[in-house]
Structure 1
């Protein structure tokens, strides 16, 4: 083993014995403005402890986003959150440095308290707080043909999901498939194939999932173009349990891109 390989080995050994948990930090703030008023955006980073975490993704949320999260969680977890302290709303002077500094600490502690409650940290509401805005932006960019921007945004979402949904990794499938579409339309075929194989691995035991067939079709095409093993993928497609559950779109098999483009379409 090289010196670098030894360092990585001992680093892995060191972290394998430590419990993995998440820490929430609010690194900084900035004041933004819309047509009605000024407001503070809090820059949040999630750090994974107990293992090397080289993927630090920042998101920005305003106080009203935290407030909405709190209301939504109370609907399902009122008893569990009995001792959780949510920082009170301040009507006047909420843009002063002192108030912003105190609120940064209070909101950081609030996220930590929520994460400490097992049922809350595994809830859709908690996870959505960290990724919903970025998901909407990513899918909107795909529908607008802005694949580079969509890829960058969805990669951030995926990094966050890798930390937040370890209890349910299947939740990453849609993001991975959207990234496959981005890579493919940008002619990044190797990246599209690798990303698609990650999604397929998560779907192995779910052949009836609506993304399974379209993903397999895309991977077969990519594997053929890249000179990889497409025959085993074709066999999965032709002989798997999924034969009877193919999704249809205007009488034809729906493609992965069609599925992704139709995902999260705003409804009136």
Structure 2
């Protein structure tokens, strides 16, 4: 009888969530054992299935198979594996303190992941392909997003190209970089079914792989032929619109060209033509923003251009500096004055140039330079020519 009463008392205590101190067997706590098994199952499913390394994620055939740094699942798996054992928890679930601990672990994991230095590289993604009819001509226009991986890219750049554009790029690269292009494949032309959904989808994927392969090879990645394939069209269009006084329309092309140049690292290359195109883009943006009364943006791009043009003290004494340095300094002084920004640094540099005996009057305007400049397409000499 006493045994029955004790049994009944124990069942009552279990229902109310009170655990006797001397009861340690997991057989008396089926709920706890099930929770532990569940946790292990979740951890086993989540661990090792998500990739946070940029190189491995980019190599996946299906982008959906690799999760980026924003995925929450890996944090959940990590927290469950490293968190308190489920046998220590109440049979009715996690307590408030346990929930708080889980939240802290999630936050720490997130901060730890964000602090990692992930290698950055470019991702080329075809986001749209549309059939265009121009008179008797018909072709597919591919829209490609150029995205910086390794962190969230707030400003992806966009290009639109057709098959013949890619074919020309491939032909020029093969002509001037034959050795490096030896193993690079290119989608062949088809006589029929060029406009079917299947063909367009296959070519979209092939163009993504083609650009990724070329970009992975250092010599090709730095080739002016490859770089100008991306930005030169936008730069030339911006110049045409600037000449016509359509400054607002020109901004879109020029800003996209600048984003492409930045992502491709054009501003860091020693090639003189890349430097010329980089400077032209900055000065064109200065002019457009100035004409549109967006003086803060104009002055900001002036500063960026001056980072490249400011000469060393020795070059200054020898009067060896860029011919656009003086008009750019004069423009920056005026803009800084209008937006109440400190201009003494640039005024001092102008004065120093004048003290060296240079006439700072009668300088060409930035707009005059921009309208007259010819944006030449590079033709790299072959190594074997």
| Alignment TM-score, normalising by the size of structure 1 | 0.86
For residues 42-96 of structure 1, what are the alpha-carbon distances to aligned partners after superposition, in whole Å with 9 as ceiling and x for unaligned?
1101111123311122211000000111111112210011000011111222111
The structure with the greater share of residues assigned to strand is: 1
Shift of 1:106: 0.9
Pair 1:209-2:209 in alignment: no
Partner of 1:183: 289
Residues 1:147 and 1:46: Cα distance change in structure 2 (over 3 Å)? same
Partners in 2 of 1:223 and 1:16 — Cα distance?
38
Partner Cα distance (2:311, 2:142) in 1: 40
Distance 1:247 1:75, change over 3 A: farther
Unpaired segments ≥5 residues, structure 1:
1-6
SS in 1 for 2:199: helix
8 Å contact from structure 1 (residues 208, 241) kept in 2: no
> Using a 3 Å threshold, how does the CA distance of structure 1 residues 42 and 15 change in structure 2: closer, same or farther?
farther
What is the match of residue 345 of structure 2?
232
Is the CA contact 1:72–1:125 (under 8 Å) kept in the aligned structure 2?
Answer: yes
Contact between 2:125 and 2:146, CA under 8 Å: does it hold in 1?
Answer: yes
Comparing 137-146 with 211-220, greater Cα deviation is found at 211-220
Q: Is the 8 A contact 2:237 2:250 kept in 1?
A: yes
Comparing 183-192 with 141-150, greater Cα deviation is found at 183-192
Give the aligned partner of residue 24 of structure 1: 124
Q: Which runs of 5+ in 2 are unaligned?
A: 1-106, 313-319, 377-385
Which of the numbers 357, 361, 366 marks the counterpart of 1:256? 366
Which residue of structure 1 lines up, in the alignment, with residue 151 of structure 2? 51
- Aligned residue for 1:253, secondary structure, equals coil
Q: How does 1:22-101 map to 2 (within 5 A)?
A: 22-101=122-201
* Residues 1:172 and 2:272 are matched in the alignment: no
Partner of 1:108: 208
Q: 1:123 to 1:241 in 2, by over 3 A?
A: farther
- Asked if the contact 2:333–2:346 (Cα under 8 Å) also holds between the matched residues in 1, the reply is yes
CA RMSD of aligned residues (A): 2.7
Distance 1:260 1:112, change over 3 A: same
Match of 2:334 in 1: 221
1:244–1:34 distance in 2 versus 1, CA, 3 Å = farther
Alpha-carbon contact 1:142-1:150 (below 8 Å) kept: yes
Please tell me whether the aligned partners of residues 26 and 108 of structure 1 are also in contact (alpha carbons under 8 angstroms).
Answer: yes
- Whether the 8 Å contact between 1:208 and 1:242 is mirrored in structure 2 is no
The alignment partner of 2:184 has SS state of coil
Query: The residue matched to 2:237 in structure 1 has which SS?
Result: helix
Q: How far, CA to CA, are the matches of 1:242 and 1:23 in structure 2?
A: 50
Deviates more, 1:198-207 or 1:237-246: 237-246
Q: Is 1:25–1:108's contact at 8 Å kept on the other side of the alignment? A: yes
